[in-house]
Amino acid sequence: MNERRSLWLVVLAALALRLVLLVARGDYIVYDEGYYLLLARSLRAGHGYALNGLPHVALSPLQPVLVALVSAMGVPDLWASRLLAAVCGALLVFPVASLARLAGGPRVALAAAVLTAASPALMTFVPFFPGESWNLYFGSEPLFLLLAFSAVAAAVRAEQGGWKWWAAAGALAGASYLARAEGLVLCGALMLVVSLRLAARRVPTRAWRGPAVAAAAGLVVAAPYLGYLHSALGRWAVSGRVQAASPAGAATTSLVENARSGGKVLEAFVWQGRPEAFVQAMYGLDPTGTRMASQYWGVRRGPAPLAVTAVPVPATPASTDSAAGATPPRRSSLLVWWQGITTVVPWWLGVIALAGLALGRRGVLVWILPLAVSALLPSLATYVEPRSLLPLAPLAALYAAIAAIRASDTLAGLWKLRASVVLPAALAIALMAPAVRDLVHAWPQTTSLQQVATARRDVGEYLARHLSAGEIVMSFHPAVAIWADRPWRVLPSDSFERIAAYAEREHAAAVVFSRFEPSPIQRPPRAFTIVLLAGGAASAPTVQLQQVDETPLLFVGRLADGSSR
């Protein structure tokens, strides 16, 4: 069987496995996955790149654009997103195999393809029991990895000659920037590597035309988004994420200070189990109560909010989206970094990959550098998050394949075994074990995450039956509005009075509170509470809602004239 046919078989197997995992995923929608879906819906409806009713700058646009295009063909939004992730995750095999061939030959290429297809960090994970493991699928990561590795593989081909490959490398690198902000780091590192290689070889001036074509192609691809950012922000910028993710009141500080302050908040949330500062920074209202304090939820033209001490956040109830238990102690930065890397690359595979790094051809290392930098530099500059380290997973697969094939050759010489097949297959089986375990747990649709996700779907479908088309739903989790197929506004973490006033200002028809997310309702009668708004004022010390409906899952009340809190 030739190498190309073997690679296609690996791709098809990888796609089939990911599709099975997606079916087992069921109704489960991660927060960022929901935001991408809402952005895609806004684009398809002709409302522009908007989230929370405002122009959005925090999340990169390529994933929503592609989902909108696929869903315009009749595919439901959620499956358009998940099919895109599954296809990109499977096709990642090709550029990884291309780089692996350069590093160790055709057998290494095939082994690297198999390990990439089986890597748990590169699959669309199904819901697991809280605290058991990580769910690394959020939306744009599979697309980014495919574009980033393809850009580097194209640059390798381009160096051998051909302006078309230079144009492809530049366009793919530019597209990776449109998929995730880390693509900007990849673009800079890749251009630096190409320039240093040309300078070291002292090539004639005409040899620089290829990189110039690549740079021009990348700028052409990125130009529309850069123009959009300028229009939304009123200034030139390459990303709105740093400012958007910064704590409230940080608008006047530098981008570096914003990144560091936002990184501390997010690191405490991700690694220390302390969500209070994150919820306060991301979900608080500004002092006037008329807008969200964080720019993550959209850019509103007009005077900037005043920088003041943030409003205290109500106690956050235990969430089924995170592990329960006591707040863990602070961890050193080195330990957090180690935990982030070993979440993406199992430690035993990392040891094998290091052996492969020592055994592989040195010429490919320079091409690996931009991919490694795009993973490591953002975590050093801001905070450590496993999904930002995902480029390390295909790199580990590549170098583990080198070590596996070298060991196979040694064993084959000693014992006349076909170890070139046995060892990579054994590694792939070991890698797939977590995905198989998650699949077994999730297939009955009984994990706690899936049960809550199905409850959110039931609430959304209830709203779809009882609200007119176009009426706005306000909820903490975007999945409620996605299942309701209604416009969405984010639910602030604040007092009931300020939430009700803000909701009315946003013309929300219904506000959804839940036991599973921050809520000012201390003793809700049901897991979900829907408050229907009708111009009522909220000022008294207790919540008094006129009951409209009640089910075992939700309580529906109307906030009308004379209703109070």
Q: What digits encode the pLDDT tens for the residues 236-277? A: 999 887 554 454 444 444 545 555 566 677 777 777 777 888
Tell me what pLDDT residue 559 has.
76
Q: Letter for the amino acid at 10? A: V
SS3 label, residue 548: strand
CB 152 within 8 A of CB 163: no
Tell me what pLDDT residue 535 has.
56
Residue 353 pLDDT level (bands cut at 50, 70, 90): very high
Task: Calculate mean pLDDT across residues 451-471.
Answer: 96
Q: What's the chain's average pLDDT?
A: 85
Residue 461 pLDDT level (bands cut at 50, 70, 90): very high
Q: How far is CA 382 from the centre of its chain?
A: 16
CB 147 within 8 A of CB 155: no
Q: Is residue 316 scored above 50 in pLDDT?
A: no
Task: Calculate mean pLDDT across residues 55-70.
Answer: 96
Tell me what pLDDT residue 401 has.
96
Percent of the chain with pLDDT over 90: 62
239-242 contact pairs (CB < 8 A, 24+): 239/57, 239/60, 239/181, 239/184, 240/57, 240/58, 240/295, 240/299, 241/57, 241/58, 241/59, 241/60, 241/181, 242/382
Tell me what pLDDT residue 482 has.
97
More confident position, 253 or 232? 232
Q: In what order do the strands lie in the sheet with 488-490?
A: 488-490, 472-475, 508-514, 528-533, 554-559, 546-550
Q: What is the pLDDT of residues 2-40, one digit of tens each?
A: 888 999 999 999 999 999 999 999 999 999 999 999 999
Tell me what pLDDT residue 29 has.
92
CB 468 within 8 A of CB 487: no
Exposure b/e, 94-110, CB count within 10 A at least 16 = b? bbbbbbbbbbbeebbbb
| Rama region for 161: left / alpha / beta (φ>0; ψ in -120 to 50; rest) | left
Residue 131 pLDDT level (bands cut at 50, 70, 90): very low
CA atoms within 13 A on the CB side of 154: 23
Q: Letter for the amino acid at 532? A: L
Task: Calculate mean pLDDT across residues 479-506.
Answer: 96
Q: What is the SS3 string spanning 355-418?
A: HHHHHCCHHHHHHHHHHHHHHHHHHHHCCCCHHHHCCHHHHHHHHHHHHHHHHHHHHHHHHCCC
More confident position, 410 or 543? 410
Tell me what pLDDT residue 226 has.
97
Q: Is residue 122 scored above 50 in pLDDT?
A: yes
Q: What is the SS3 string spanning 207-263?
A: HHHHHHHHHHHHHHHHHHHHHHHHHHHCCCCCCCHHHHCCCCCCCCCCHHHHHHHHH
Integer Cα distance of 340 and 334 in angstroms: 10
Tell me what pLDDT residue 86 has.
94
DSSP letter for each residue of 5-34: HHHHHHHHHHHHHHHHHHHHHTT---HHHH
Q: What is the pLDDT of residues 165-190, one digit of tens each?
A: 999 999 999 999 999 999 999 999 99
Tell me what pLDDT residue 248 has.
46
Q: Is residue 133 scored above 80 in pLDDT?
A: no
Tell me what pLDDT residue 257 has.
54
Integer Cα distance of 71 and 84 in angstroms: 11
Q: Is residue 224 scored above 90 in pLDDT?
A: yes
Task: Calculate mean pLDDT across residues 209-215.
Answer: 94
CB 537 within 8 A of CB 496: no
Exposure b/e, 206-238, CB count within 10 A at least 16 = b? eeeebbebbbebbeebbeebeebbeebbeeebe
Rounded to 5 degrees, what angle do the CA atoms 225, 231, 236 make?
A: 75
Q: Is residue 540 scored above 70 in pLDDT?
A: no
Q: Is 559 exposed, middle or buried (0-12, 13-18, 19+ CB in 10 A)?
A: buried
Tell me what pLDDT residue 409 has.
82
Tell me what pLDDT residue 101 has.
94
Q: What is the pLDDT of residues 403-431, one digit of tens each?
A: 999 888 887 766 555 556 788 889 999 99
Q: How far is CA 397 from CA 68, 141, 144, 215, in A?
A: 32, 17, 17, 29
Tell me what pLDDT residue 557 has.
94
Q: What is the pLDDT of residues 318-348, one digit of tens each?
A: 444 443 334 445 556 778 888 889 989 999 9
- Which DSSP letter does residue 526 get? S
Integer Cα distance of 438 and 132 in angstroms: 10
